[in-house]
Amino acid sequence: MEEIKVKTIHLLLVSALMFTACNNTSRSTSFQVENNVEFDTIRVHKKYHLEGDTNKPYCDVQVVFVYPSASLEVDVDSLQRSFVRNTFGIHYQEQNPTQAVNGYVNSFVESYSKDAAAYKESAIDIQEFNALLSEEVIADSEHALRDEFYSYFETISDSIVFNQYGLISFQVKQSNNKGGATSYVTYRNYVINANNGIPVTENDIFNPGYDMALQGMIVTSLLEQYGAKTISELEDLGFFGVQEILPNSNFLLNDKGIIYTFNKGEYSAYQLDAPQVFIPYTTILSLLRDNSIAHKLAYLQ
């Protein structure tokens, strides 16, 4: 009789363990850590001199494109379209990564050639007009003409910031210069569903009214980052409109929180680096939609 009781207890324990294991397995497959997506990189650098003369102005374009290349679990074609569209533009979204990169580079060179040709035509008109003016007027007015066209420079690249729990967060950095000492740099952030390439938006993760609620947190973060005590001190550093600052949809997600990037010219002068604001999930739990990806990530903490 004792032997039967022991066997019964043993069977109950095994059943309980199997039930627990099944539950854990179910939980992990619905919110597993690894996305199991492989990435590859295409690098292209092209320099084009006007009229093929190395003594003339030129355009220089560099591309470093990181893209999803393989997976046994998700639709790679959808992911690639999302990466191509967000990096190079909607015009290229139906092209494969190699076609998109080459198309973008060739388009940049073609645009430069057209700008140079337009400049050459206008230069002839300006020279004819200048012949009617005195040298003093030409030197002191907008009629002064450069001896040669400008050189153009552009670099575009993307980087994977987070690739887990069914999310891929990536950032596109674009730098260009069309003559002059200043290069303009912009950062574009994207969060996509790793299973289908569909973008994750603020409305997907936040409850209504989140924008006003986040406003104070963004300001507080900027104050801490720049060692300022007041908004006036931030303005002295080159910020403007800080009291009206709001989430701008230019965000990334990781397992710790949300990161907003505000590009130069949004709320800060071009002399400053683009501010990035990190807000931990733990401070915005009440703002997150139940069962949203951000809500699930918050409870991993």
pLDDT tens digits, residue range 254-299?
A: 999 999 999 999 999 988 899 999 999 999 999 999 999 999 999 9
The model's pTM: 0.83
Kindly give the pairing relationship between strand 167-177 and strand 184-193. Answer: antiparallel
- 135 pLDDT band (50/70/90 cuts)? low
Domains 36-200 and 201-301 equal at CATH topology level: no
3-state secondary structure of 256: coil
> Is the separation of the CB atoms in 260 and 218 below 8 Å?
yes
> Is the separation of the CB atoms in 185 and 175 below 8 Å?
yes
- The sign of the CA dihedral 49, 50, 56, 62 is negative
Residue with token string 């002059």: 180
The yes-or-no verdict on residue 24 having pLDDT over 60 is no
Kindly give the pairing relationship between strand 152-164 and strand 58-70. Answer: parallel
Mean pLDDT of the chain: 86
> Is the separation of the CB atoms in 80 and 96 below 8 Å?
yes
How many percent of the chain have pLDDT more than 70?
A: 81
CATH of 201-301, one of 1.20.1050.140, 3.90.640.20, 3.40.640.10, 1.10.3720.10: 3.90.640.20
For 193-235, the pLDDT digits (tens) are 999 999 999 999 999 999 999 999 999 999 999 999 999 999 9
CATH class of 36-200: alpha beta
> Is the separation of the CB atoms in 85 and 127 below 8 Å?
no
Q: Where are the domains of the chain?
A: 1-30, 36-200, 201-301
Range 143-154 burial, b when 16+ CB lie within 10 A, else e: eeeeeebbbbbb
Confidence at residue 47, expressed as pLDDT on a 0 to 100 scale: 97
